Each structure stands twice: as C-alpha cells, then as structure tokens.
C-alpha cells in the first residue's frame, strides 16, 4: 500500500509556465467557501481557541506556582500545555483572520513558516505523551527507584531530545518543499498549510518528498506508539498484581488522565488519516483535522483538571489567592 502511494505521487513534470520565483502565495479554502456559515464558524473557532489558550495557561500557572507539582509528571504536563498553546496559535489565528477579512491567501513564506511550526508542535505532542507514559511506567512498576530514575537530568535530556528531533524533522521537510516548483494551481484544500496538501499542488516530481514523509511518519509514529503501548502493558500487568481493589484504583488513577489524553490524541489522529484516505469529501476531512489540531488541545486541560486532584487543588489555591488581592489592596 505504501509503495502504491509512493508511485501514485509521481507526476509527469509539465512545461512550467510559472516558475518558483513568480509563485508568491497559496489560497486556503477550507471553512471559507460557505459565506452563510462564516459568522457561526468564526464564533465557534474563536471560542475553542480562547478556551484552549486559557485552559492550558491555567495548568501552566498552577504547576509553576505550586511547589508540590514540581515533579517529573507535571514537568512534562507543563511542557505539553505550552506546546498545545503554540499548536493552536499556529493555525487558528490565520483562519480567524481569513474569515473576518475574506482574504483566503497566505504568502508562500508564511505558509512554509506555518507548516514548519505546526509539524514541530505535533511531533512534540508525540514525544511528550511518550515521556509521560514512561514516567507513569516507572512510578507504578518501579516505585522505590522512581526518584532515582526520573531525576531532573533525565527529564531535561528527554525534553531537549524531543525538541531537537522535532526541529530537525520539520526543517528537513520544509527544505525539501523549497526545491519544488508550483504552477497555476495554488488552492490548498485545508484551513492551514498542511504538508501533504501542499505537495499535491507541486508540478515537480514529489517522489522524494513522499518517501521522506512516509518514512519519517512511520518512524516517529511507530516509536512513540510502541513506547506508550509497552509502558501501559507493563502498568496493567503491575496493577493486576495488586491484591486490594482500593490499591488497584489508586494506582490506575495516577495514569487515568494521561491515558485519556493519549486516547483522544491518537483517535483523532487516526480519524484524520482515515477520513483523508476513505472519503472524497474535503469538508469531512477538514472537520476531522480540526478535531485533531484544535479541539484536542482544548479538551486536554479539562481532562487533567477534572481527573486530577492535585491540579484541582492548585487551581483552588490560585482562585483563593486572587480573591484576596482586592482586600489586600484596600
């Protein structure tokens, strides 16, 4: 199947009437082609964006202020919330601006920048969720060695390694795009500059780009998923060995929030893949992508807030502290 996609991506290079230096912009079509729905879409995505940003900022604030949350698990959650804010800020503001101004064009350079940072933050989501799964594995399967294994140095190394791989992966993809030529077709069937959609518009031979895209997707997708599955297989095995039901519940509750976020992230991700490969409806594909790129970062703070007692306690302290500020000023 993969080789079929590789060879299907090969194109006969036509006589290019408009070379790369004359190509200046793309047009983003999704969510902007139905004028009667623009106000509703603007309100919907603006609300989702604000909730995602505020919710993740509250988690960052709670972890930063409460010293009890300065642990490896919340260190990775802190960074996950930061990455989620960056991810939605990479795509949604441009879409909202397009809806307001009815200007659907995006300059070529801006498209590359958006593509680059979107891939960086999606890759970081994969790595951070994997690191959090490993943290839960150590906490439940090796509790006596937890502080020794999950030390500050290891956490920092995992974070730096994740950023490095994400930056390099995105940089290689974007550099490979700059070697392509684009002709008269410049309409991207999406609400942001998605790499796969941009490649479809090229009038150059994109075989190398697709080979790189699928190889990296398999590599960077398979390793995190395998790590998460392995960690949770060991976690489940350890939990089942706990004799008391209360002990099992307590052990499972420590990773319940993370498991919910992992399930949401990968289920919406697979939804994007399946919708793009099994349906010809660009609208349905865009909806699935919106769930993956916009709705998931919005729901993550709710999952961690509703299922995590430590986060709820930290937020209560912040609310109580803010309520005392007017009294102190007077």
DSSP label of 182: B
129-160, pLDDT tens digit by residue?
999 999 999 998 888 999 999 999 999 999 99
- The pLDDT score that the predictor gives to residue 17 is 40
The whole-number pLDDT of residue 83 equals 95
SS3 of 241-308: the string is: CCCCHHHHHHHHHHHHHHHHHHHHHHHHHHHHHHHHHHCCCHHHHHHHHHHHHHHHHHHHHHHHHHHC
More reliable by pLDDT, 63 or 34: 63
111 pLDDT higher than 70 = yes
Q: Show the domains of the chain with their CATH numbers.
A: 2-9+17-324 (1.20.1070.10)
Strands 25-28 and 187-188: parallel
pLDDT digits (tens, 9 = 90+) for 254-306: 787 888 888 888 877 776 666 565 555 566 666 777 777 888 888 888 888 76
Distance CA 232, CA 140 (A): 10
User: The tokens of 37 are what?
Assistant: 């729905």
Helix (H, G, I), strand (E, B) or coil at 220: helix
CA separation for the pair 298, 162 (Å, rounded)? 22
Instruction: Give the pLDDT confidence of 154-190 residue by residue, as tens digits.
Output: 999 999 999 999 999 999 999 999 988 887 778 887 8
Give per-residue burial for 73-95: e unless 16+ CB within 10 Å, then b. Answer: bbbbbbbbbbbbbbbbbbbbebb
pLDDT, position 99: 83
Of 193-207, 225-239, 315-329, the least confident = 315-329
Question: What's the rounded Cα separation, in Å, for the pair 178 and 98?
Answer: 25
């Amino acid at each position: 199947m993969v080789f079929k996609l590789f060879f299907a991506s090969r194109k006969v290079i036509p006589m290019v009437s408009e070379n790369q230096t004359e190509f200046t912009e793309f047009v983003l079509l999704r969510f902007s082609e139905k004028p009667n729905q623009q106000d509703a879409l603007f309100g919907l995505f603006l609300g989702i964006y604000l909730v995602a940003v505020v919710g993740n900022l509250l988690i960052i604030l709670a972890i930063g202020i409460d010293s009890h949350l300065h642990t490896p698990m919340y260190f990775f959650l802190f960074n996950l919330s930061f990455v989620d804010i960056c991810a939605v800020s990479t795509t949604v503001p441009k879409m909202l601006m397009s809806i307001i101004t009815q200007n659907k064009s995006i300059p070529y350079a801006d498209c590359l920048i958006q593509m680059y940072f979107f891939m960086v933050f999606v890759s970081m989501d994969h790595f951070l969720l994997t690191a959090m799964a490993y943290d839960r594995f150590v906490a439940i399967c090796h509790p006596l060695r937890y502080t020794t294994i999950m030390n500050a140095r290891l956490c920092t190394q995992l974070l730096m390694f994740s950023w490095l791989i994400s930056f390099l992966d995105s940089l290689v993809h974007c550099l490979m795009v700059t070697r392509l030529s684009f002709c008269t077709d410049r309409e991207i069937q999406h609400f942001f500059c998605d790499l796969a959609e941009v490649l479809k518009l090229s009038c150059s031979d994109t075989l190398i780009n697709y080979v790189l895209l699928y190889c990296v997707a398999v590599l960077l997708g398979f390793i995190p998923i395998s790590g998460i599955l392995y960690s949770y297989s060991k976690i489940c095995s350890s939990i089942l060995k706990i004799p008391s039901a209360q002990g099992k519940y307590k052990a499972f509750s420590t990773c319940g929030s993370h498991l919910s976020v992992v399930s949401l992230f990968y289920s919406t991700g697979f939804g994007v893949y399946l919708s793009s490969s099994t349906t010809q409806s660009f609208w349905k594909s865009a909806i699935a992508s919106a769930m993956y790129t916009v709705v998931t970062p919005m729901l993550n703070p709710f999952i961690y807030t509703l299922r995590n007692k430590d986060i709820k306690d930290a937020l209560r302290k912040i609310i109580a502290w803010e309520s005392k500020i007017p009294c102190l000023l007077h």
